[in-house]
């Protein structure tokens, strides 16, 4: 068989026809609906038509893709991962929209919610008619969620919620916010309708990363909620951390999408850009860069595929998710930076995707667990010693 530069290890042979069909459908949607506009959205720092995009993604089955029932597609973990890869190959902000909707907000309700909560929220969220967000990080609390200050107190049969959440994707366009708060019983999750009195979600501006994404603060000032707003299925940090594991899995694939787009841009440029009388791809230093980028890109995809198979088999551990998130995001950033050097000065132009992906990945490196947190997760697993405190 011939060598295929876009699939040098023959990874496509590991995928079933239905896997490839889902991947190609999402790739085609992104090429049609995102790529022609994304540079302009990024430059202007906005994501216009987000509600329409959400409905289209819902029609594709991409929202809550790996969940069962309630209008969700019930796809495999590998199929969901392939969709994340294709979405992030367009832009990290688009993949974040899908991840927060499906792997955080929808997953929390699906996993921990009551049947009434599931029926109320999930069908509309799966269709993209309702957008959700996930409130865990706070202005002064990031990697240590146990120290959150948001608090919910019982008042008769109601709950009264006060606090702030920060860096919340989809916040100002959401119909429901899954908010985690301290209570006298421990940390609990709440499905908060965003039209509740005392709830507001001002949008965060002036970002240099994830510019084509809606990012907000959540402010809760004596938000009164009925008793049935609390997610009954979990108490404690295992609730939000379980959701984060689901979302981190999508990032393992998604980061490789950003890396692939940057690598392909560099490869195409190296074949056509001439210096000293021939394409720069004909020089040894450029070929060495391309070879190293291809190695890390496809090793990362293989890692994502392996972890996806483990998730489908029900054997994927949180430490393995940390392994994938730590490696793939770190290597994706390095691929983007190397691609930028091949493009030279053109690498900083929005005519090419490389710098956009590189700056987006700086956020991806931090959210859903920083590099240091995932190193400590693996360090604890390897040594049996806890270095977090």
CA distance 34 to 239: 33
Q: Classify domain 239-383 at the CATH topology level.
A: Butyryl-CoA Dehydrogenase, subunit A; domain 3 (1.20.140)
Bridge partners (DSSP) of residue 134 are 178
Q: What per-residue string of b and e applies to 115-145 under the rule 16 or more CB within 10 Å gives b? A: eebbebbbbbbbbbebbbbbbbbbeebbeeb
Pairing of strands 188-193, 176-181: antiparallel
| Residues 145-163: tens digit of each pLDDT | 999 999 999 999 999 999 9
Q: Do domains 11-127 and 132-236 have the same CATH topology?
A: no
Instruction: Please pick, among 86, 217, 296, 368, the residue that the annotation labels catalytic.
Output: 368
Q: So what's the pLDDT on residue 196? A: 98
The structural domains of the chain, with segments of one domain joined by +, span 11-127, 132-236, 239-383
Q: So what's the pLDDT on residue 389? A: 74
Q: Mean pLDDT across the stretch 242-266?
A: 97
368 an active-site residue?
A: yes
Q: Mean pLDDT across the stretch 228-249?
A: 96
Are 95 and 34 in contact, with CB atoms under 8 Å apart?
Answer: no
User: Which residue intervals of the chain are DSSP H helices?
Assistant: 17-33, 38-44, 50-60, 77-90, 92-99, 107-112, 115-126, 238-272, 284-313, 318-343, 354-366, 371-383
| Residues 26-65: tens digit of each pLDDT | 999 999 999 999 999 999 999 999 999 999 999 999 999 9
Q: Mean pLDDT across the stretch 263-271?
A: 98
Q: So what's the pLDDT on residue 87? A: 98
Q: Classify domain 132-236 at the CATH topology level.
A: Butyryl-CoA Dehydrogenase, subunit A; domain 2 (2.40.110)
Q: So what's the pLDDT on residue 114? A: 98
| Residues 316-353: tens digit of each pLDDT | 999 999 999 999 999 999 999 999 999 999 999 999 99
Are 89 and 206 in contact, with CB atoms under 8 Å apart?
Answer: no
CA distance 371 to 329: 9
What superfamily would CATH give domain 11-127?
Answer: Acyl-CoA dehydrogenase/oxidase, N-terminal domain (1.10.540.10)
Q: What per-residue string of b and e applies to 222-256 under the rule 16 or more CB within 10 Å gives b? A: ebebeeebbbeebbebebbeebbbbbbbbbbbbbb
Q: So what's the pLDDT on residue 142? A: 87
Q: So what's the pLDDT on residue 46? A: 94
- Of 367, 325, 307, 320, give the one whose Cα is nearest residue 134: 367
| Residues 93-108: tens digit of each pLDDT | 999 999 999 999 999 9
Consecutive H or E run containing 152:
strand 151-155
* Token representation of residue 381: 């697993």
Q: What is the DSSP string of 190-252?
A: EEEETTSTTEE-PBP---SSSTTS-EEEEEEEEEEE-GGGB-TT--STHHHHHHHHHHHHHHH
pTM of the shown model: 0.96
């Amino acid at each position: 068989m011939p060598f295929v530069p876009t699939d040098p290890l023959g990874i496509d042979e590991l995928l079933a026809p239905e896997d490839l069909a889902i991947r190609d459908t999402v790739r085609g949607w992104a090429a049609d609906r995102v790529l022609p506009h994304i540079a302009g959205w990024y430059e202007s720092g906005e994501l216009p038509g987000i509600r329409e995009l959400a409905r289209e993604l819902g029609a594709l089955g991409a929202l809550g893709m790996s969940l069962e029932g309630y209008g969700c597609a019930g796809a495999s973990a590998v199929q969901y991962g392939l969709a994340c890869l294709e979405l992030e190959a367009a832009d990290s902000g688009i993949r974040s929209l899908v991840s927060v909707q499906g792997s955080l907000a929808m997953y929390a309700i699906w996993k921990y919610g009551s049947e009434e909560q599931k029926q109320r929220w999930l069908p509309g969220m799966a269709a993209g008619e309702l957008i959700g967000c996930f409130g865990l990080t706070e202005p002064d609390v990031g990697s240590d969620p146990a120290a959150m200050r948001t608090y919910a107190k019982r008042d008769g049969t109601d709950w009264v919620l006060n606090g702030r959440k920060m860096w919340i994707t989809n916040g100002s366009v959401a119909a429901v916010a899954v908010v985690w708060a301290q209570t006298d019983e421990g940390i609990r999750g709440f499905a908060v309708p965003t039209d509740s009195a005392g709830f507001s979600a001002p949008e965060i501006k002036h970002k240099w990363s994830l510019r084509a994404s809606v990012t907000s603060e959540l402010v809760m000032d004596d938000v009164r909620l009925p008793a049935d707003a609390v997610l009954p299925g979990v108490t404690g940090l295992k609730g939000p951390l379980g959701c984060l594991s689901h979302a981190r899995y999508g990032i393992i694939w998604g980061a490789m999408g950003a890396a692939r787009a940057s690598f392909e841009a560099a490869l195409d440029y190296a074949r056509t850009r001439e210096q000293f009388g021939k394409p720069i791809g004909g020089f040894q230093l450029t070929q060495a860069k391309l070879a190293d980028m291809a190695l890390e890109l496809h090793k990362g995809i293989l890692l994502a595929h392996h972890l996806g198979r483990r998730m489908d088999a029900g054997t994927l551990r949180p430490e393995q998710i940390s392994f994938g998130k730590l490696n793939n995001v770190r290597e994706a950033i390095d691929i983007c930076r190397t691609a930028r050097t091949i493009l030279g000065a053109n690498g900083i132009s929005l005519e090419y995707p490389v710098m956009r992906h590189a700056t987006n990945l700086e956020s991806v490196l931090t959210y859903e667990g920083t590099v240091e947190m995932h190193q400590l997760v693996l360090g604890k697993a390897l040594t049996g010693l806890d270095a977090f405190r």
